[in-house]
Structure formats: C-alpha cells, structure tokens
Amino acid sequence: MATKPSKPRKTTSTKQGAAQPQSTVTPIAQGSNVAEAGNRTFQPAEHRTSGDQRIQEEIRIRAYELFEQRGRLEGFHHDDWARAEAEVLAKYRRDKSA
C-alpha cells in the first residue's frame, strides 16, 4: 500500500492577504516624566490645547480635585465647578496684571 506524501496544512494565520487588526494602543511620549504624566493627559501635537481650552482644562482638573477632597461625595459638581472656575480665573487675572 502506497502512502501519499503529506502536504503542510494551510491555517488562517498563514494565508496571504489576511487583514491584521490595527493596534488600539496609544503611544507614550518618549522621555516623559512619570510623575508629570500622572498629572495630565497625553495629547498628540495636533490636539494640544491653547488659550481658552487650556483654562477650561485647568478648571476641569481643579473641579475634580475638589470632588476628591470632598471624599468623592456626589451631588456637588456645580459647586465644585464654580469654585474651580473662580480660582483658576482669579489666578489668570493676577498673573496678567502683574
């Protein structure tokens, strides 16, 4: 009885032209300070904020700090935002007049 020579089986991973899923991993900036990176979100160069957007980001961060200081107690987001906005805008007015 003669046996046929066996051919290697084709698997889905060896198919040519099979679409590979794109990575959803966000790159980390090279040479960034880990302590500083924890205090702000990474944004690519084309998405960096300026002017009013930067102020809004500072207000958002300060409002979240106030929320955490309160022990993450819900229901005071308007108060936290108003206080954060007043603090940040006062800081910019002070810096601008000096």
Given a contact cutoff of 8 angstroms between Cβ atoms, the answer to whether 43 and 49 are in contact is yes
* Cα-based angle 85, 90, 91 (whole degrees, multiple of 5): 100
**What does the pLDDT look like over 36-68, one tens digit per residue?**
444 555 555 555 557 899 999 999 999 999 999
Query: Hey, where are the domains in the chain?
Result: 49-97
Q: Per residue in 9-23, pLDDT tens?
A: 665 554 555 555 565
What global pTM score does this model have?
0.48
